[in-house]
Structure 1
């Protein structure tokens, strides 16, 4: 019998359906913190990665009254926590791990197609674009990998551990323990195109970038807004988004920028959202029983993961 449950938000919250994926594997979910959630490009599969070293694949309904099934696939091979995931098409998935490796997996067979092992410490995040993978590590480097090569094609080095990396239109954005954002052109990686001395007072755990804006989430309990394009002048915009706490456990909590809405996980067990232009707090959505760590969105459906071992889908 499926362990997936349904629950509706209270009348004080958004009147949408919540679907909880209660995750206790084998074939019934993770058995500890879920660190990463990612929809595939058609929105019918959700990949989740966790502290239990596994990647699970969930077949999703297209409406909130459809029945969910148990996870249909489990990918195993990492020797430590799966810290992040990024899809590379309909049937390939990139992963990073605390075992210091980056993997590419065939999601139809579960086969590991590539096992990149050049990092010397925990790999905290991967992001992908057009067959390239960028991986950020506690060793202070971002490595660029081509899915068709066996070794990294570029290495970018900094003095401090890196927790987050994003690729957008051949530009690479990095941040971490040092509250500094750097932008690199992946076609010429000798020096950054620009650096942003952010006004954060603690480490940056997440970046999210779209065509016109970039946000950074920090353990100082704020999210800040920037101009991401390599133009002369100050890239810092005045908006500051407050209200999503980080707690005292030094967890890597992610944020997400989608259209006019900023989302963030929080140590108060909620998904928190703001209006991009006004910084107004829109809502705090409950449901989890532990810190909300990661977020993804597909056509209005929001997926969140938590240290409570659950993933919640909000329609």
Structure 2
């Protein structure tokens, strides 16, 4: 038999190679056609960018209803998801992508948000039952919609926002809040500044309120949304704030101390429809490239990824059968995690940023 020639390197994307049946297909090649009576099959080489087993992986079977939040842990090795079925599922990011843990009935109502601890192998959850799940603390008098954590002053601090109109600050090892701030209307989203000095809170008045923890007062109000902000996320640099909203507009705010823009609106991104369900969509910044890209899920069952500076849509990623409620970027590789009302998650490999 004639000696088979070596295939081109994976960098030559788009080249077709014919292989005899029974030959192993390298991880950088995908079979794109195979005839029943043909002796061979066509293979297209692609450039892989991550350690995932395949470019797209489905994580399903753990939840029985909507997934409302899903996040990578700080190492990128593990994934946690929570949802309307009151449970939290734990998964391996890399092969085998096993569901190695399920915490059922963790709360008495839907679990709306979760965060991995930055200092220990612990998860924090908040629920419609008005409690923080890590310690079963009845934290608010209304549904708790959002949670964030930060390490500041040698302690891990939590911030929670709820329908009772309050934002509360907690030390991770204490059962009483150390700060309490009343916005006067339901709070839909909270997040910390990287240094733990300020809290950003989105509310039913369509405004993002900025509270200084040291001064114990509101120091700024970001106005520009025409409907309720559904989540908040600070960029890896700490210079920008991402906020999708029920109006289907996503705003990137300039939160540097001396912004050149009086309105502090840096970019307005369009392409991710919020839909009529008014789902609190969890958006995210890319991590491995320093925040050049952002992602927001939509009611059109896709995830939209933009280049922030050009506002160009880079990806419209399909695959879900319901509204995409939560997205997160891997901390070290170009991988995006998505959760949906269809009770499944998808891991997707994307190209590295230029």
Quote how far apart the aligned CAs of 1:121 are: 0.9
Q: 2:231 aligns with which of 196, 201, 206?
A: 206
Query: How big is each residue's C-alpha offset from its partner over 1:246-284, in whole Å with a ceiling of 9 and x where there is no partner?
Result: 111111112212211111010000010111001111120
What's the CA shift for 1:79?
0.5
Secondary structure at the aligned position of 1:48 is classed as: strand
2:250 to 223, 229, 244: 223
Aligned match for 1:243, one of 248, 271, 285:
271
2:39 corresponds to which residue? none
1:36 paired residue number: 69
Aligned to 2:8: none
CA offset digits 1:141-163 (Å, max 9, x no partner): 11101112111110111121111
Partner of 2:143: 122
CA distance in structure 2 between the aligned counterparts of 1:126 and 1:304, rounded to whole angstroms: 18
| 1:90/1:301 CA distance change after superposition, 3 Å | farther
Shift of 1:202: 0.9
Give the conservation status (yes or no) of the 8 Å contact 2:239–2:255.
yes
Q: How many angstroms does 1:43 deviate by? A: 1.1
Q: Which residue of 2 aligns with 1:86?
A: 115
Partners of 2:122 and 2:187 in 1: how far apart? 25
**Are 1:20 and 2:58 an aligned pair?**
yes
State yes or no: 1:159 paired with 2:213: no
Checking the alignment, whether the CA contact within 8 Å between 2:223 and 2:263 is kept in structure 1 is no
Distance, in Å, in 1 between the alignment partners of 2:98 and 2:211 is 42
Query: Following TM superposition, by how much is the alpha carbon of 1:67 offset from its aligned partner in structure 2, in angstroms?
Result: 2.6
**Structure 1: gaps of 5 or more residues:** 1-7, 24-28, 105-113
Give me the CA root mean square deviation: 2.0
Q: Is the 8 A contact 1:256 1:296 kept in 2?
A: yes
DSSP 3-state at the match of 2:99: coil
Aligned to 1:98: 128
Q: TM-score, normalised by structure 2?
A: 0.76
1:3 maps to none
Contact 2:110 2:129 in 1 (8 A): yes
The answer as to 2:300 corresponding to 1:268 is yes
Partner of 2:223: 197
Does structure 1 residue 72 correspond to structure 2 residue 101? yes
How big is the shift at 1:75?
A: 5.3
Q: How many residues align?
A: 285
Q: Deviation of residue 102 (structure 1)?
A: 1.2
Tell me, in whole angstroms, the C-alpha distance in 1 between the residues paired with 2:70 and 2:180: 26
- Give how far 1:235 is off: 4.6
Structure exhibiting the larger radius of gyration computed from Cα positions: 2
1:118-143 CA-partner distances (Å, limit 9, x unpaired): 31111001000121100010111111
Residue aligning to 2:215: 188
- Alignment of 1:54 onto 2:83: no
SS in 2 for 1:99: coil
Structure-1-length-normalised TM-score: 0.85
* Secondary structure at 2:231 match in 1: strand
Q: Compute the displacement of 1:231 (Å).
A: 3.9
What is the distance in 1 between the residues matched to 2:75 and 2:158? 20
Tell me which protein shows more strand as a share of its residues.
Answer: 1
Task: Tell me the distance in 2 between the aligned counterparts of 1:134 and 1:234.
Answer: 28
Runs of 5+ in structure 2 lacking a partner? 1-29, 33-43, 49-53, 350-354
CA distance in 1, matches of 2:326, 2:98: 22
- Is 1:305 the counterpart of 2:330? The answer is no
Q: Secondary structure at the match of 1:288?
A: coil
Whole-Å separation in 2 of the counterparts to 1:166 and 1:79: 25
